[in-house]
Structure 1
Amino acid sequence: MDNLKDMKDEVLVMTNASDGNTPHVVERIGQDGSLKTRPLAKAKPDGDFLKIDRSESILESFFSNFKRQFDNPSDFRFYHLPAELLANAKELAALFRNPEENKEMLGEYRLEPEQYATKQAEELKQASATDESAPQQSTKWGMEQVDWQQLARMGITPESLGEIGTARLLNGHESAVLNLKTNFEGIKIETPACIRLVESPDGKPVLNIECCKQRPELDYYFGNEIPDRLMKENLLKTHNAGSTIDLTIAGGKEETCLLSLNPKTNRLHHIPVSEIKIPSEINGVTLTENQRLDLSFGRSVLVENMWSERHQKHYDARLQYNVCKGGFDYDFRGLNRKVEQGQSQSEQREIIIPKKLKGVDLTDEQVNALKAGKAAYVEGMSDGNGGTFNAYVRPNYEKMKFDFFRWNPDKSRKQSQGQTNEQPKQSAQTTSQNRRVRKSEKKGIGASL
Structure 2
Amino acid sequence: MAKKKDEKDVLIVRDEKTGEISVVAGLQADGTPRRTPPKMENAQDFLQFDKNGDVLDNFFRNFFRQCKEPSRFGFYRIAADQAENLLGVMKELLKDPVANAELLAPHKVDTSAYEKQVAQEQKAQEDKKQEQNQTNNVEPQKQENMEPTYEAGAEAKSRLDYAQQEGGSRQATKQQENVQQNAQENKQENKQRQGYQPIDESRIDWQALEKNWGVKREELEQSGDLQKMLNYGKSDLVRVTPNFGGESFSLDARLSFRKDDDGNVRLVPHFIRKEQKLDEYKGHKFTPEEKKALKETGNLGRIVDLVDKATGEITPSFISIDRKTNEITDMPAARIRIPERIGKTEITPQEREILRAGLPVKDKLIERNDGRKFVTTLQVNVEQRGVEFVPGTGKSPRTVEEQSNKESPKVAQETPQQDPGKQRRNTWTNEDGSIRPITKWKGVPFTEEQKADYVAGKTVKLENVPDDKGVPSTMYLRFNPEKGRPYRYDTNPDNAQKVAPANESRTQVAVNSQGKTNEATKNVNEPLQKGQTAPKDDVQQKQEKRKSKGMKV
If the TM-score is normalised by the length of the shorter chain, which range does it land in?
0.3 to 0.5
Question: Which structure has the bigger radius of gyration?
Answer: 2
Decide which structure has greater helix share. 2
Please give the TM-score of this superposition, normalised by the length of structure 1: 0.38
Decide which structure has greater strand share. 1
Please give the TM-score of this superposition, normalised by the length of structure 2: 0.32
